[in-house]
Amino acid sequence: MKAGSKDKSVSFKDTLPVWLKIGLLSFGGPAGQIALMHRIIVDERRWLTEAQYLHSLNFCMLLPGPEAMQLATYAGWRLQGWRGGLVAGLLFVIPGSLVILCLSVLYALYGKLPLVTSLFVGVKAAVLAIVVEALLRVARRSLKTKLDWSVAAAAFAALFFLHLPFPIVILVAALVGLVRSSTASQAEAAAITTSWRSTMATAAVWLIIWLVPVAVCLLTLGTDHVLSQAALFFSKLAVVTFGGAYAVLAYMAQQAVEVHGWLSAGEMIDGLGLAETTPGPLILVTEFVGFLAGYRFAGGLTGGLAAALLTLWVTFAPSFLMIFTAAPYIERLHSIPRLASALSAITAAVVGVILNLTVWFAVHVLFSKVETLPLGLTVDFASVSSVSIILLILASVLLFWAHLGVVRTLAICAVAGLVLINVAGV
C-alpha cells in the first residue's frame, strides 16, 4: 500500500469505532497511549507492522506536540488519506477534552472533586500495568544488538538522572546511528506520493486553519484581552513542546501562574492531576488552564468555554499541520541507509524514553510525596499508597494472568478504587 493511499481492505466506517475506542481508553500519558495504540493498531488490527509503527513513532518523537496524537493521525492518514488522519487525530483528542471541560466547569463552580479523584486511582494503577507490559514488548522487539541496549540505557540515564533536554538525547542517538551506518548496502528508495507544490499547499491550508482564529482575536479584542493572550501563549507552547508535555510543564506553570495570573500554583497542580487521570494527551492540561483564564477574566462560563475551545484549537492544529505535511515522506526516510540507521538508533533511545516515563509515572502513582533532585527522583517511602499497590497487583493479575484486556482491566480497577477508598476506607 502506498503511503497515504486508501487501504481497500479497511473501510473508513470500520476505522471509526477503533479510533473512538483508542480516544476513550488513552489514559496514562504518552507511555500509556503508546502502549494502547501498539496493542490495538499493531497486535490486534495489524494496520501497521511493527517496523512501520516504530518508524512513525520515531518521527513523531522528533516533532513538537503530543506524539501519541500525532501517531494516531499518521496511522489514520496511512489507512484513509487526509480524511482518516483528521478523524483519527480528532477522536484521539475529543473524548478527553470533553471530560476535562466538564471537570473544569465543576472545578470552577465547586472546587475539588474527591469522588472523581478516587475513581481514577484505580485507573492509574491499571495504566501502570499496561505501560509495563508495553515497555517489555517494545524492548523485546526493538533492542536487537548490544549497541541498541547501550543507547536505550544511556537515553534513560540522560533523562532520568541528568535531566538533559529531550531533543539533545534524540540528537545524540541519531548521531550514534549515523556513525554506525554503512552505505555498502543500498535500499530501494520508497516512492514519494506527493509533489513539493502539494506539500506547500497542505502546509498553507493548515497554517491558515491554525492562525486565522488567533488573528481574529488580536484584531477584534486587542492584544491585552485574555483570549488574545491565551491564543498567542498556547500557539507558542504548541511548537516548543519537544519531548511531550512533561518537558514544558514547568514553563507553562510559571507563565500561567506567575506572569499571567490566570490560576494559582495549587490549581495548576490540580489541573495536571485531572489531565493525568483522564483520557487523552497530557497536554490537555492547557484546556483546564485556558478555561479558568476565560472563566475569570472573560465573563464566566461563556468566556471559559470560548477560551477552552480556542486553547484546544491552537494546541492541536499545529500537529495536524506537521503530520499532513510530512506524512508522505516518512517511509522515504527509512529507505535511505544512513537515515535508516539514525532512526534505528532513535528507536533504541525511545525505549529509554518510555522507561523514563514509566518510572516517573510509577513513583507518582505509588507515592504521594515525590521530589525531583539533581540526580533523579527521590520518594518518601512513608508516603506509599497501600490502595495503589493493591490496585496495581489486581491490574497485573487481570492483565498478565487472566488476560482480560485493556477495557475490562481499566473498568474493574476503577470500580475497585472507588470501593476501597469510599466504602472500605483503605
231 and 216 Cβ atoms separated by less than 8 Å: no
Residue 107 has pLDDT above 70, yes or no: yes
**Residue 13, number of CB atoms within 10 A of its CB:** 7
49 vs 41: CA distance, rounded Å: 9
Query: Between 7 and 82, whose confidence is greater?
Result: 82
How many helices (H) and strands (E) the chain has is answered by: 16, 2
- Which three cell numbers mark 195? 509533489
pLDDT at 334: 64
Residue appearing with cell numbers 530501494: 188
φ/ψ bin of 264: left (φ > 0), alpha (ψ from -120 to 50), beta (otherwise): beta
If you average pLDDT over every residue of the chain, what do you get? 83
Percentage above 70 pLDDT, the chain: 87
Mean pLDDT to the nearest integer, 86-104? 95
Segment holding 331, helix H or strand E: helix 300-333
Residue 405 has pLDDT above 70, yes or no: yes
52 vs 31: CA distance, rounded Å: 18
Segment holding 377, helix H or strand E: strand 376-379
273 and 86 Cβ atoms separated by less than 8 Å: no
Lowest mean pLDDT, pick from 31-35, 318-322, 400-404: 31-35
**Residue 163, number of CB atoms within 10 A of its CB:** 12
276 vs 184: CA distance, rounded Å: 47
φ/ψ bin of 182: left (φ > 0), alpha (ψ from -120 to 50), beta (otherwise): beta
Mean pLDDT to the nearest integer, 334-350? 76
**Residue 224, number of CB atoms within 10 A of its CB:** 7
102 vs 26: CA distance, rounded Å: 18
- Helix 285-297 to helix 265-277 angle (10° resolution) is 140
Percentage above 90 pLDDT, the chain: 35
Alpha helices in 143-260 (DSSP H): 146-160, 166-180, 196-221, 226-238, 249-254
**Residues linked to residue 377 through DSSP beta bridges, in sequence order:** 372
CA distances 316 to 59, 147, 361, Å, are: 17, 36, 24
- Tens digits of residue pLDDT in 299-320: 899 999 999 999 999 999 999 9
Residues 6+ apart with CB under 8 A from 148: 142, 344, 345, 347, 348
Residue 188 has pLDDT above 70, yes or no: no
Mean pLDDT to the nearest integer, 272-276? 73
- Tens digits of residue pLDDT in 356-403: 877 877 887 888 777 766 666 777 788 888 898 999 999 999 988 888
CA distances 123 to 26, 106, 391, Å, are: 11, 20, 9
Residue 3 has pLDDT above 80, yes or no: no
- Tens digits of residue pLDDT in 111-166: 666 777 777 788 778 878 877 877 887 788 778 888 999 999 999 999 888 878 77
